[in-house]
Structure 1
Amino acid sequence: MKKTLIMIGAGLETVPAIQRAVELGAHVVAMDLNPHAPGFKYAHESVIGCVYTPDKAVAALNEWAAKGGRPDGVMCAAVDAPHTVAAVADHFGLKAVSRETAALATDKLAMKDRFREAGIPIPWYREIFSAAEFYELLQERQETLVIKPVDSRGARGVLRVVHRAANMPSPEWAFEHSRKESPTGRVMVESYLDGPQISTEGFVVEGKAYTPGFSDRNYEFLERFAPHIIENGGQLPSFLPAETSQAVKELSGRAAIALGIEHGVAKGDMVVHKGKPYVIEMAARLSGGYFCSHEIPWNTGVDFVGIAIRLALGETPSPDEMTPKFQKGVAQRYLFPDKGRVVSINGVEEARKIEGIRMVEIRTEIGAEISAATSHPARSGVVMGVAETMEKAVENVEKAVKCIRIITE
C-alpha cells in the first residue's frame, strides 16, 4: 500500500522535496497557510494550515484525517518548523524529532545551553534584556558581537556589530531591531568568531551521524550589507584540508546527537576559528536554498532528500547510501539588485547558456518593489552551476550572475 507523507510547508524551495516524494511513490499531503502555495500543484492533496503554529497545524490535519486520511510520516523542508513536525508526529504516532528536540532546535538560547552542557564548542553567548546591557557588553568585551533574536528564521534581525567601527549602529537601534523579530521578544548576543564558515547537512541513523553535505559559505558582502549578515551562496567541495573538514563533520554529528536527534536530519552552521571547529547553530530539518535538494546530490551523488523522506516514513537507509560517491564542483550565488521598482530584467537566457549552469531562478518581476537586503528572504534570484572543480563552478556561476541585469529606479 502506498505510504502517505505529510509535508509541512509548500513554498517554492519545498517543491523539490514534494516532487521527490511523489517520484518515490509516496502519497503527499502538503500543508501551508498560503492557499496559492506553489507546492500544492505537485502534491496529491493540500491542507490549509499554519506551519509555524503546531496546535493549528494539528487541528487542520485532524480535519483532513477525519475524512479518512492516515499519515505514515511527516517532515519539513526549507521551512524552520520542526516543532510543528514534532507535534504532528506526536499526535498521529509517527517517527520524527521529539518535542524536546524541536524546542531546542528553534530556541537558540536553549540550544546553546544544551551544547554547553554537552561540551560542544560554541561561541561565548548571553541573553540580554536592554540596549544598555548590550552597550555595556560591547565596552566590556571590546570585540565584534552578533546580536540576534532567540527564536527567528532566515537571518531576520541578525546583526554583526563591530566594536568602535565608524559605521557601528547604535545599541538602541540594534537591540530593538533584533527584539522585534523575535516572536517572544527575546534577544541574545554572542561572539563573532573569525574564520571560514561552513554549512553541514547530514543524518542521524541508529545513533550514528553521517554528514555528506559540506559547503563553504560565501560572505563576500559582509561590508555591503552591514550590519546585517547576508550570505551570498557558497561552493563545494570545501577548500579546507581533509583533516579540518573531518573535524567539522564529527563536531556537527556530535551536536546533532546532543540535541536529541536519533532518526532524522540535522543542518549545521559551523565556523573554523583559529583552526578549531565551533557550532554556531543546528537545525533539526532539511535546509533551504536548494542545498539538500540540488547542491549535495550534484556534489556527492547522495540522494539527500530521498533519504530524508524514507527516514520520515520510518525506513532505515544503508550507510552506503549516505556516503558520498564523488566530489564534483558546485557553486551558488544570489541576485541582489538595487533598491527600487524593477523596470527591466535582462540577460537571463544568456546566463542559462553558460557552461555548467544548472539553475537560474528569478524571484522578482517588472513592477515589483525591491527593498533593502536585511535578511535572506530579500534575495531576488539564484544561480547554480556544476563543473569538474569547485573553482570552475564558481567562475561559471559568477559569470552568469554578471549577465543578469535587474534594473530598478
Structure 2
Amino acid sequence: MKKIMSLGGNYYQMTAVKAAKRLGYHVIDVDYLPDNPAHKYADEYYNISTLDKKAVLELARKLQIDGIMSYGSDVSAPTAAYVAEILGLPTNPLTSVEILTRKDRFRDFLKENDFRVPKSMDIIDVKEAKDFLCELGRPIMIKPVDASGSKGVSKVISIGEVEDAFREAKSYSKCGNIIAEEFVQRSNYQIAGDAFLVDGEIRIFGLANEHFDRLCNPLVPIGESFPAKISTKKTEIARSEIQRVMSLLNMKQGAINLDFMFDENGELFILELGPRNGGNLITDAIKEACGVDLGEYTVKAAVGENISDLMEKPYHNFITSYVIHSQKSGNFTGLKYSNGIQSKIIRNDLFISPGDHVERFNNGGFGIGAMLIKFDSQEEMMQTMDHMEDFITVCVE
C-alpha cells in the first residue's frame, strides 16, 4: 500500500485526505493543530509544523512515504516541494513553487517575462507606502507577500489610511515583507477556479466567478460560482497566458489555483497562481458541477500514478461554494435562511456552535462554515450570490 503525506488537516483539506483513502492509500497527516478535523480520517497523525522543512523531511524519510501533497495551502507548498525534491518523489520545482507562493517574487517574475502587471513596489515602512500612493495619484493595495485568504490585504485611498493598512499587512506576514501595488478596476467578475497540469500542459481549466460581500469586506471572497460568466475569447487569452507562466516555470503536474481578471480596457491581469488546489470547497464544487474529481487526481499525481486520462467535461450543474460568515462580531446564535435558499443547499458544515464568539469577516480566517449550493440556472445563481445577505444571515448578539 502506498503512503502519502498530507500537510495540513483543516476542514477544506479533508477533501484530499478522504480522496486518498478512497483510492486505497495509507494517509499520514501532519500539522501543529491536533484538533484539526481531517486528522480523524487519516491513518496516522504527527504534530509537526508544516513550515519546519527539516522536521517534515526527517519524518518522511523515517516513514518511507511515496508522495507528499500540500492541498489547499500555499504556506506548506514549499515544504512539500522541498521534501519531494530531496527524496526523489513527484513534484514541481521548488524554486518555481517558491515564486508562486510569494507575491513579491511572482510580481517580479511576471514583469521580467512581459506579462501585464499593476505597478508595484516592496515597501519597508509607512513612509515608502505613502510616497508610492502620492506618486501614483490613485488607490493602491497593501499586502503581505506570503499570506493567503486575503489576510492583511487593504485597499488604500488616502494618506490617512496607510499606517493602519501597513500595520495590518505586517501582522500577517511571516517573513515581514510587504508589497504595495496599483489598484486595478476590473471590468466584470474576478475569475477564480482551478487548473490542472498533466505533463506540463493545462488539461483542466475550471473557471468560476468570484463573489464578495460588499456590505462586509469587498476584498475577501465569500464564494465561487461555476461555470464562470466569461467569453470564449477571454477564456482562451487567460488559458494561453497562464500556460505560458507554467511553461516558463517548468511546472509539470498537479492543481493550480487561479485568480485573474480583465480590466476596463480588456487587458488580462494575473493576480495569483497558487501551486495547489483552491480552498473554499472549489475542488468539491467542480466535482458537483462537471463530475471531475480533482482531489483524486491531486493524490494520484503526488504518488506518481498515471493521470493521463484526465479530461475536461461539460458543466451540467450550476454550483457555488459559499463561506458562511458574519457581518459583525458577537456571540453566534444561529443561521437564518430566507427566500427558499435552504432547499438548494446540498452541503452545509458549521465550524462553530451556538454561544461561540465570531468575528466580523475581515479575512478568510474568520469564516465560520462552508456550503455547496445548487441552482437551476446561471441567472439565479449569479443574482443570489451577489445578494447573499437576502438569503443567509448569521445571527449574533
Matches within 5 A, 1:43-192: 43-62=42-61, 65=62, 69-80=63-74, 81-162=76-157, 164=158, 169-192=160-183
Correspondence for 1:328 among 292, 317, 326: 317
CA-CA distance at 1:347 after TM superposition? 4.2
Determine whether 1:337 maps to 2:326: yes
The separation in 2 between residues aligned to 1:353 and 1:182, in whole angstroms, is 38
The separation in 2 between residues aligned to 1:341 and 1:176, in whole angstroms, is 24
SS of the residue corresponding to residue 230 of structure 1 reads: strand
The separation in 1 between residues aligned to 2:113 and 2:5, in whole angstroms, is 33
Residues 241-271 of structure 1: CA distance to partner in whole angstroms, max 9, x if unpaired?
1111221222222223333312222112111
CA-CA distance at 1:109 after TM superposition? 0.9
CA-CA distance at 1:133 after TM superposition? 1.4
The separation in 1 between residues aligned to 2:327 and 2:42, in whole angstroms, is 36
CA-CA distance at 1:56 after TM superposition? 2.7
Correspondence for 2:345 among 357, 369, 389: 357
What is the aligned length?
Answer: 393
The separation in 1 between residues aligned to 2:137 and 2:277, in whole angstroms, is 36
The separation in 2 between residues aligned to 1:17 and 1:282, in whole angstroms, is 19
The separation in 2 between residues aligned to 1:193 and 1:297, in whole angstroms, is 32
Residues 103-159 of structure 1: CA distance to partner in whole angstroms, max 9, x if unpaired?
112211111111222222222221112211111111111122111011122211111
Query: 171-180 or 254-263, which moves further after superposition?
Result: 254-263
Q: Report what 1:19 is aligned to.
A: 18
Q: Report what 1:257 is aligned to.
A: 247
Correspondence for 1:243 among 219, 224, 233: 233
Q: Report what 1:367 is aligned to.
A: 355
Give the counterpart letter for 2:19 in structure 1.
Answer: R
SS of the residue corresponding to residue 155 of structure 1 reads: coil
Give the counterpart letter for 1:362 in structure 2.
Answer: L
Correspondence for 2:192 among 199, 209, 212: 199
Correspondence for 1:290 among 271, 281, 289: 281
SS of the residue corresponding to residue 221 of structure 2 reads: coil
Q: 1:382 to 1:263 in 2, by over 3 A?
A: closer
Q: 1:350 to 1:230 in 2, by over 3 A?
A: same
Correspondence for 1:304 among 271, 277, 294: 294
Q: Is the 8 A contact 1:111 1:259 kept in 2?
A: no
Q: Is the 8 A contact 1:357 1:397 kept in 2?
A: no
Q: Report what 2:268 is aligned to.
A: 277
Give the counterpart letter for 1:43 in structure 2.
Answer: A
SS of the residue corresponding to residue 333 of structure 1 reads: strand
Kindly, what percent of the aligned residue pairs are identical?
A: 21
Determine whether 1:224 maps to 2:212: no
Residues 175-215 of structure 1: CA distance to partner in whole angstroms, max 9, x if unpaired?
22212221121111112221131113112222212233101
Q: Report what 1:10 is aligned to.
A: 9
CA-CA distance at 1:300 after TM superposition? 2.2
Give the counterpart letter for 2:216 in structure 1.
Answer: R
Q: Name stretches of at least 5 consecutive residues in structure 2 with no aligned partner.
A: none
CA-CA distance at 1:349 after TM superposition? 12
CA-CA distance at 1:92 after TM superposition? 2.4
Give the counterpart letter for 2:73 in structure 1.
Answer: V
List, as ranges, runs of 4+ consecutive aligned residues in structure 1 with deviation greater than 4 Å. Answer: 346-353, 394-405
CA-CA distance at 1:391 after TM superposition? 2.4
The separation in 2 between residues aligned to 1:23 and 1:348, in whole angstroms, is 34
CA-CA distance at 1:321 after TM superposition? 2.2
Q: Is the 8 A contact 1:255 1:279 kept in 2?
A: no
